[in-house]
Structure 1
Amino acid sequence: MESHIRTADYVNKQMIELNKVNEENQNRATRSVKTETHLSDGRLRLYRLAAVCFGVLCVLQVILNISLRLTCYNTMTEERDQLQTKQTCPEGWQKFNSRWYFISTETKTWEESRDDCVKRGADLVIINSNMEQEFLFGLNKRAWIGLTDSVTEETWKWVDGTSLTTSYWYTLQPDNYGANPANREEDCVELNTESWYPVKAWNDLSCLNNRYWICEKVV
């Protein structure tokens, strides 16, 4: 009887030990799963952080490239403007919009005036708008402009060969009338700033008369 009791106690102890081992193994397995899960979450967060950082770096690189290009463009524009100013702004020239104008300080015939403009890399002025007309009127010079009908009478053309479309003739002009009977042909045009209104201030005149002149060239 005592032997059976001892055997039962032994079996119970072994069962208890086995249960402890099983619980410990289960606990280890649970801890292992949690550890793996934690490590996986950590790696995922790390990958996400790396992706975000890479995206931010890309955006910063794009912004930097744009800034550098803008800086280079502005620098080149300033240098170009400075160079153009040095090259196209000699004494006697004035700038209006995208063009430069030379105003003479002496008088010549229309042909002589045009020759002078050509030597300066320009030509007698061509007037395209009210603003330009008013600007030139403000120079306060009774001067030749680049308009003539010397090729075909009453067919007015600019020095670049284009036909006249918008005109600023003074009242009753052109009249093809000269004070000297020998020079009745008035085939060239002056801008009369002495007494006429800015917009309507053109007058046809003999090309042999001496006037100041205005040269023009594109910047």
Structure 2
Amino acid sequence: MALLNVRSLVNKTFVLNDFFFTSRLDVLFLTETWIRPEKVCPEGWRMFCHSCYVLSEKLGSWDEGRDDCRSKGADLVVIESLEDKTFISSYIKERAWIGLNDKEEEGNWKWVDGTPLTLQNWVAKQPDNGDGNPKWGEEDCVHVEPDASWNDLSCSASLKWICEKHTTE
């Protein structure tokens, strides 16, 4: 079992067995499995579980949102669990792009990380790909409503977006 010299970690915040500590230790040896630096999000981002999230301030297409997220070392949010869904609904108060689309094949919904859709939370009668109405056009991208339900929409529509960045130790 490798030992970690905490002398180099003086004046930092740590998570020890899921409790937070700030210490001025001179010398202490602990196993690496017991102590790890606190995970931190960039300024303006919000932490949930093992990821950081930010809602854009500007509006844009789904592709513009994804490009913006990538420029920040992130991507559009992937909603993998009921906990993620609950967090997102508590975080946003308006429609926003998420990282789900069927651009490659109509009806084959995939997340931006390549994973297929498993958890679903569609608005009633959605997705409908515009229901054949030329007013709506092709609807290949997904946005989340403030209640955390999803709707497909034209990727060129102008909405805010939610970026997700996984934290690193």
Q: Is the 8 A contact 2:136 2:153 kept in 1?
A: no
Match of 1:175 among 108, 124, 128: 128
Q: Cα distance, 1:206 vs. partner?
A: 0.3
Q: Cα distance, 1:102 vs. partner?
A: 1.2
Q: Name the residue aligned to 1:206.
A: 154
Distance 1:94 1:118 in 2: 17
Q: Name the residue aligned to 1:138.
A: 90
**Identity across the alignment (%):** 44
Q: TM-score, normalised by structure 2?
A: 0.75
Larger Rg: 1
Give the superposed CA RMSD: 2.4
Larger helix proportion of the pair? 1
Match of 1:215 among 155, 163, 167: 163
Larger strand proportion of the pair? 2
Q: Residue 158 and residue 69 in structure 1: after superposition, are their counterparts in 2 closer, same or farther (change >3 A)?
A: same
Match of 1:158 among 100, 103, 111: 111
Q: Cα distance, 1:183 vs. partner?
A: 4.5
Q: TM-score, normalised by structure 1?
A: 0.59
**Unmatched 5+ stretches in structure 1:** 1-66
**Unmatched 5+ stretches in structure 2:** 1-26
Q: Name the residue aligned to 2:101.
A: 148
> Residues 70-95 of structure 1, C-alpha deviation per residue, up to 9 Å, x if partnerless?
39876x63xx21xx42xx3222x100
How many residues matched? Answer: 140
> Larger RCO: Structure 1 or Structure 2 (Cα < 8 Å, ≥ 6 residues apart)?
2
Q: Name the residue aligned to 2:143.
A: 190
